[in-house]
Amino acid sequence: MFLFTLVLQVLFLPEADNLKCECASNLPGSCTQKTIECSSQNYRCSATTQVKFLGGARFSELNDKSCVLPELCLDFSVNYGAYRVVQKSSCCDGDICNAKIDYPKPDDKLTPSGRKCFSCVGENCMKTLDCVGDENYCVKVTDGASLTVKGCASELVCSDKTASLVNQFTGAKLSCCQGDYCNSASSASPALLLLLVPLLVSNLFS
């Protein structure tokens, strides 16, 4: 009888509430309320900054606070020379804990990582690029037989999950390698993928 009562007590324990996080963004329409409830108990609260550089100068900055899965609270960088995207994230556990977190600040002046890659700028893929920060991979994106994009990337950009997403949404193949100039040199045509790859990475890991 005692065992039966214990089982009933376990079965009818109140469910734990899902985590609540502050929702804030400088992107219009992203947050309709200041506090949101995460969709499951597996989430953490996050504060994320994404900076886009054009020609070496800051072009835009996105600040966002929301819910995120723990494995997706990550930093990444993808660099095509003339165009670069850097994302930094800070995460915490506890209701509305991200209200007390300052937005992380990507470093504008990063030291070279030591990796050197070929870079596509317009129709010229013969240019070389010194990778910076945590960019330890050379990356290239191909669409059929024509090469589209080349540059430097951090490890996260080169994950199987990212490559699958790029292929799913664009039909293109993303590949990475470690070794100076391992992404080879050949001509390329400019394409929307130059903007799509970092955007897809951002959506996947935010």
Residue-wise pLDDT for 48-106, tens only, equals: 999 999 888 888 999 999 999 887 788 899 998 888 999 999 999 999 999 999 999 98
Q: Which CATH class is domain 112-204?
A: mainly beta
pLDDT score at 169: 76
Q: With a threshold of 0.85, does the pTM exceed it?
A: no
pLDDT in tens, 19-43: 999 999 998 888 889 999 998 888 9
Parse the chain into domains and list their residue ranges.
17-100, 112-204
- Strand segments, DSSP code E, in the chain are 20-22, 24-25, 35-37, 44-54, 57-68, 76-79, 83-92, 112-121, 124-132, 137-143, 146-153, 173-177
CA atoms within 13 A on the CB side of 155: 3
The DSSP bridge pattern shows strands 35-37 and 76-79 to be unpaired
What is the fold of 17-100? CD59 (2.10.60)
Closest Cα partner for 79 from 29, 119, 123?
Answer: 119
> What residues are paired with 21 via a beta bridge?
36
Asked whether this chain's domains 17-100 and 112-204 adopt the same fold, the reply is yes
The maximal CA–CA distance of the chain, rounded, in angstroms, is 79
Residue 31: is it exposed, middle or buried by C-beta count within 10 angstroms (0-12/13-18/19+)? middle
